A = this chain, B = another copy of it.
Amino acid sequence: MTDRSTATPLTDEQSWEVLGLQKIGRLATAVAGDVEIFPVNYAATKRRIFVRTAPGSKLAEIAVNGRIAFEVDEIGTDLAYSVVLKGTAEILEHDDDITDAEATGLLTYLDTHKPVWLRITPTEVSGRRFTR
């Protein structure tokens, strides 16, 4: 511990900057009190988060129509950032939306020919910057 260690809130702008720089986030859901957490590849654009997953995946099943939390961090030796976003996730079904999603160029670690796209619309974004 040092007296110099501090946590500073980020502005919305700064939080989206962090979200724009990273590629891997973790999406958490709760269904009937059962908490799940998934590491996901994502893209952030126009203040939305896009996640690509396989049809029928557990993520696609349970992330939808529920409140989710999504977290991204960047941990350095003397400086760290964490952004947590809360909101809802939906599966994209309209061609226009899917075109928007595909325009992000997002690929996943395990890629699939006909992905399902999730779009997260945030209701709350909070970021913190840690220094020590």
Contacts and interface: CB of A to CB of B under 8 A. Distances in A.
Interface core residue of A29, A35, A84 (most chain B CB under 10 Å): A35
Main secondary structure of the interface of A (DSSP, over half): strand
Contact of A33 (B30, B39, B132): B30
A27 B109 CA distance: 22
A12 interface: no
A56 B113 CA distance: 47
A88 to B, nearest CB: 11
A130 B26 CA distance: 16
A75 B24 contact: yes
Contacts of A26: 26, 28, 37, 71, 73
